[in-house]
Amino acid sequence: MMERYQKAMGRIHAPADTKKKLLGSAARPRRSRAAKLLPVAACLLVLVASCAVWVLTETGASLLPVGSSYDEIYDTWYAQREDRLSILGGGGIAGEGDGDTYGDTTIMGGVSSSPSFDYSASDPKDYYETHSQTEGVKESDRQKTNGKFLWRIDGKTLYTYRLAGEDSELVSDLPLPEEAGFGSEMFLLEGRLAVITRCYKVPGLRFKAYTRVYLYDLDAATGIPVLAEVFTQSGYYQDSRILGDTLYIVTDHNGYVGVPEEGEEIPPETYIPTVGKGATERALKPEEIYLTRDIPMGRVGLWFSVVSAIDLKGKEILSARAILGSSYTLYASTENLYLFAHADGTKTKVFRFAMAGEDTALTGSCQVKGTLLNQFAADEQDGCLRLATSVSRSIWIHEEHFSGQFNCVYVLDEDLQIRGALEKIQPEERIYSVRFSGDLCYLVTFQQIDPLFAIDLSDPSEPKILSELKVTGFSSYLYEYGEGLLLGFGVEGTENGSLTGQKLSMFDASDPEAVTEITSLKVSDDWGILYDHKKLMISEEQGLIGIPLDGYQLYTYDREAKEFVLLGHYELLGNDVRGLYAGKYCYVTSTMGLIAIDLESYEVVAEIDLTV
């Protein structure tokens, strides 16, 4: 067995071009253009930046400088990279905090007006829709349904099932085009399916990642997808949202070109991000790239975070924008898309893009301490952005390792200025789940036992802890299960902190000053952390909780008896098991097929095995 591992691992090698880059960074022959510019880079940057500001104020687009030329973009990055290298030389790499300042805040214009979509008009649906953090903003999933059909994407195949209880059938298994790479997420929008894929090209030695959107029209009678358009965006796929008819897609593009030889020119297309529709592909224009002054250099490379807006009805790219630097997570309200990027000293840079109309412009940026766990660590209410972060500091001195942790909650106003903050919550632990709910923030941290904090944000300038409940294990996902109830999914543990399995918990949060655990139930002996909350199906209206563990388990919460009740436990082959309900049935799919469960008898009434 271990020989097989040695053999398989032995076939993996560090990418050749990265090795080349490493040699480049050691030898450091200055590239001609940069070399000439460097001695005056600082003065030039100031000059250029002020020109750019002027230009943009003129056009009214935004006040954060964008590039005036590709050279300027490269040189901005290059100059900051030099700073970065000197930081690297100065001892520890990450984690040394630098005082208690909040960092800078940059504001460009006001918050844009909200788009006029009517979210209330939708009919009550009798089928499951992927849970959206923000009402009215759609999120992607591995499978989608309209109640009649179920579409599921597995790597290179797009499956269509017709949903009809015991008569359910596989309608088509459409292979994605060869160049598509792998797909694992999609959106459903009124008769259209947008499948997102990740693919890698290796032109010469350069490894390049692309994200593609395959837009399919769906045949109303058969549900069969017909390819209508393809969009391409360079970079590793990060996340996406749909607001109205517009798909917002964020990728991280690595344009690192190494340090060129003396006299060597670097063509911009080797490092500038690209977007494209069909067979056409274009590099972002300099004026579409924001010259972030303090580049989030969580990484060494020449990274760009690219945000494009695609009109799925008109099948057009509405806008494409990028910031210098990579981002690590995002959050979308119905007005703004926020990108969060690592900044030095375990800080996070926040970039706010307005999601309105034809353009996706940057409208502000700021910096806070710590790192966001995931999308749920951010929330916007009444123009205020609320964030929960964990600060983890880690430093090596000689051979000794020192580390420290604490957590913070911030309330930022419309100008992204800090209105209120709670810092140093539960030192030595870090956040495992967060949920904002109106004026409240629920926070779970963990080291040995799990305190669940309820934090009152009703006065944005003065957040305060209302209660702290300690239970064993921890919740890695929190869900508001109707009035006053909070559902937690997480890991069960003992009082000394060892982990023993996974559990469902129900908390009574009707009195935020005294949150209590009503009940909990161990659902698996295997422990692991739920990274993708979309694997769970939680429907309070239907009273269903679906968990893809040890096959598929269907639970309900009995409000009278105040306990979880197992409705059925089903065996299922294959990976990436997901469930959803439609009408009187629950359909559970995996890479190997589908089962249909009658929601009255909880018996399996149909089984489709893709392997036969």
Partner 1 sequence: MQANNRYEAERLVEEYADMIYRLALIRTKSPHDAEDIMQEVFLRYLKAHPVFESSEHEKAWLIRVTVNRANSFLSSAWNRRTLPFDEAVLGELPEEEDGSAVLNAVASLPLAMRTAIHLHYFEQMTVKEISSAMGKSESAVKSLLFRGRQCLKELLEP
Which C-beta is closer to partner 1: that of 198 or that of 386?
Answer: 198
Other C-beta atoms lying within 10 Å of the C-beta of residue 580: 23
Nearest in space to 252 (alpha carbons), one of 295, 197, 210: 210
Which C-beta is closer to partner 1: that of 85 or that of 604?
Answer: 85
What percent of the chain is helix, strand and coil (3-state, nearest 5)?
Answer: 15, 50, 35
Which C-beta is closer to partner 1: that of 54 or that of 182?
Answer: 182
Rounded Cα gap, residues 354 and 363, in angstroms:
6
Which residues contact partner 1 (rule: CB under 8 A)?
A: 1-2, 4-15, 18-19, 21-23, 25-28, 85, 88-89, 93-95, 155, 181-182, 184, 198, 200, 202, 209, 236, 238-239, 254, 298-301, 328-329, 342, 371, 373-374, 392, 394, 396, 401, 430, 528-529, 531-532
Cβ 329 to partner 1 shortest distance, Å: 7
With beta carbons less than 8 A apart as the criterion, state whether 297 and 346 touch: no
Q: What is the DSSP code (8-state) at residue 241?
A: E
Cβ 114 to partner 1 shortest distance, Å: 28
CA distances in angstroms from 94 to 22, 24, 79, 209, 479, listed in the order given = 20, 23, 20, 26, 33
Rounded Cα gap, residues 152 and 229, in angstroms:
19
Which C-beta is closer to partner 1: that of 85 or that of 318?
Answer: 85
Cβ 201 to partner 1 shortest distance, Å: 11
Nearest in space to 476 (alpha carbons), one of 430, 433, 538: 433
Cβ 91 to partner 1 shortest distance, Å: 8
Cβ 64 to partner 1 shortest distance, Å: 24
Token pair belonging to 374: 């995931």
Token pair belonging to 382: 């009444």
Cβ 367 to partner 1 shortest distance, Å: 15
Cβ 202 to partner 1 shortest distance, Å: 8
Token pair belonging to 228: 């209508």
Cβ 396 to partner 1 shortest distance, Å: 6
Locus of tokens 């056009």: 59
Which C-beta is closer to partner 1: that of 155 or that of 497?
Answer: 155
Cβ 264 to partner 1 shortest distance, Å: 17
Cβ 168 to partner 1 shortest distance, Å: 27
Nearby residues of 11 by Cβ (< 8 Å), 6 or more positions away: none
Token pair belonging to 109: 């214009």
Other C-beta atoms lying within 10 Å of the C-beta of residue 9: 8
What one-letter code names the amino acid at 147? G
With beta carbons less than 8 A apart as the criterion, state whether 493 and 483 touch: no
- Alpha-carbon torsion angle 291, 293, 294, 299, nearest 10: 20
Exposed, middle or buried by CB within 10 Å (0-12, 13-18, 19+), for 547?
buried
Nearest in space to 487 (alpha carbons), one of 479, 497, 495: 479
Cβ 408 to partner 1 shortest distance, Å: 15
Cβ 246 to partner 1 shortest distance, Å: 21
Which C-beta is closer to partner 1: that of 6 or that of 120?
Answer: 6
Rounded Cα gap, residues 289 and 268, in angstroms:
13
Q: What is the DSSP string of 145-193?
A: E-SSEEEEEEBTEEEEEE--GGG-EEEEEEEPPGGG-EEEEEEEETTEE
Exposed, middle or buried by CB within 10 Å (0-12, 13-18, 19+), for 560?
exposed
Cβ density class 353-390: b for 16+ within 10 Å, e for less:
bbbbeebbbbbbbbbbbbbbbbbbbbbbeeebbbbbbb
Give the 3-state secondary structure of residue 22.
Answer: helix
Which C-beta is closer to partner 1: that of 29 or that of 482?
Answer: 29
Which C-beta is closer to partner 1: that of 58 or that of 178?
Answer: 178
Cβ 505 to partner 1 shortest distance, Å: 19
Cβ 323 to partner 1 shortest distance, Å: 18
